[in-house]
Amino acid sequence: MAHEPAKSYQECLKKLQALIIADSFDSKFAPLENAKTPKCLFPIANVPNLHYVIEFLVMNEVKEIIIASSMHRIRIQQFLKAQAYKGVKIDVKGIKADSESFGDALREVADLQVLRDDFIVVRGDIITNINI
């Protein structure tokens, strides 16, 4: 079913979704990153990096966040439960563990049919404060 595009910026903001790909698909931090701690939960100034990503999206008025992860879904859900973010709906979706790239992860999420309209895609291991 086709969706109506937003007619204004304000209308777009009301239904703007964000997709966070929590997996990194590289081994640059192999000694630190292991089966227990995903890179998106590495602490930066004693705060998990994912917190900064979510705050960046909330700052930009994103109302719904979908986090896709293959191996660390439960750890991410535990983190989100402890944080209890308000004003934003956050859902964690599992993707296949054999996803080898960012593109594979995007295809997996597209198959889940959770993205309805315009959306923002960000990595779970970035830090930014740009105004989108």
Residue with tokens 């709906």: 89
Per-residue model confidence (pLDDT) at position 72: 82
The DSSP element (H or E) to which 53 belongs, if any, is: helix 49-59
Better pLDDT: 22 or 1: 22
pLDDT digits (tens, 9 = 90+) for 30-85: 655 555 677 888 888 999 999 999 999 999 889 899 999 888 888 899 999 999 88
Q: Which two tokens stand for residue 99?
A: 């996803």
Q: 92 pLDDT band (50/70/90 cuts)?
A: very high
C-alpha distance from residue 70 to each of 8, 9, 65, 78, 128 (Å)? 35, 33, 17, 15, 24
pLDDT exceeds cutoff 60 at 29: no
Whether pLDDT at 1 is above 50: no
For the chain, what is the largest distance between any 2 Cα atoms, rounded to a whole number of angstroms?
Answer: 48
